[in-house]
Amino acid sequence: MTDPDPHVLAPGLAPTPFTAAEIRTGCPEGRVSVVRNRDGLTAIRFVEGDDEGAWIEDTPLDEEGRPAGAVERERSSWLELQEHAAFPVEHTTIDRVELLGPLEQRRCLRYRVRRGEATLVFWFAVDLPGMPIRVDRCEGGQTVTIFEVVAVSGVPAA
């Protein structure tokens, strides 16, 4: 008997792009992802990490990248972060692709997840364990980018 795949969290779920352990290693204290969404820029910073999880701070930024609002702080376990990418296998397709964007060219796992009439598309950069670097929503022939990571710092060397 083989050991269960740590990327598969439960029967009926597609494998996640990263395990909780991979996310923990890839998101040390000080890692910051700057995300652009329809509301502007946000810095997502990992602080006070331990074996179980980390405190994560979200800070709104102005267009020059300076703090522009109150910091929201929340604790998440590494497993909870992995669970964010656990999608029903029957509604999910996974492809290996290249994505050219603000973070240059990146090898990615692209997850297409059907949700009713819409399809959500998540790009996970294989060298940046954690959140996707881009998320699109496709519906009625229209594609809207929900968010895109435009900068990352504090990433451990590969």
What distance, in Å, lies between the first and last C-alpha atoms of the chain?
32
Q: Tell me the mean pLDDT in the region 5-19.
A: 97
pLDDT: which is higher, 157 or 144: 144
Is residue 71, in this structure, part of any structural domain at all?
yes
Predicted model pTM: 0.94
The reported pLDDT for the residue numbered 77 is 98
Q: Is the model's pLDDT at 157 over the cut of 90? A: no
The boundaries of the domain holding residue 75 are 20-152
**What does pLDDT average to over the chain?**
95
pLDDT score of 61 more than 80: yes
Q: What is the pLDDT of residue 155?
A: 84
Q: Is residue 1 part of a domain?
A: no
pLDDT tens, position by position, 111-133: 999 999 999 999 999 999 999 99
pLDDT in tens, 14-49: 999 999 999 999 999 999 999 999 989 999 999 999
pLDDT (0 to 100) of residue 156: 78
**Do the beta carbons of residue 99 and residue 108 sit within 8 Å?**
yes
The answer to whether residue 3 scores a pLDDT higher than 80 is no
Residue 25: predicted pLDDT:
96
Number of domains forming the structure of the chain: 1
In sequence order, which residues have a C-beta less than 8 Å from that of residue 61 and are 6 or more positions away? 34, 40, 41, 42, 43, 67, 68
Give how far the C-alpha of residue 137 lies from the chain's centroid of Cα atoms, to the nearest Å: 15
Residue 111 lies in a domain: yes
Residue 127 in any domain: the answer is: yes
What is the distance, to the nearest Å, from the Cα of residue 130 to the centroid of all Cα atoms in its chain? 5
Percentage of residues of the chain with pLDDT beyond 70: 98
Interior/surface letters 126-138, b for 16+ CB within 10 angstroms, e for the rest: eebbbbbbbbbee
99 located within any domain:
yes
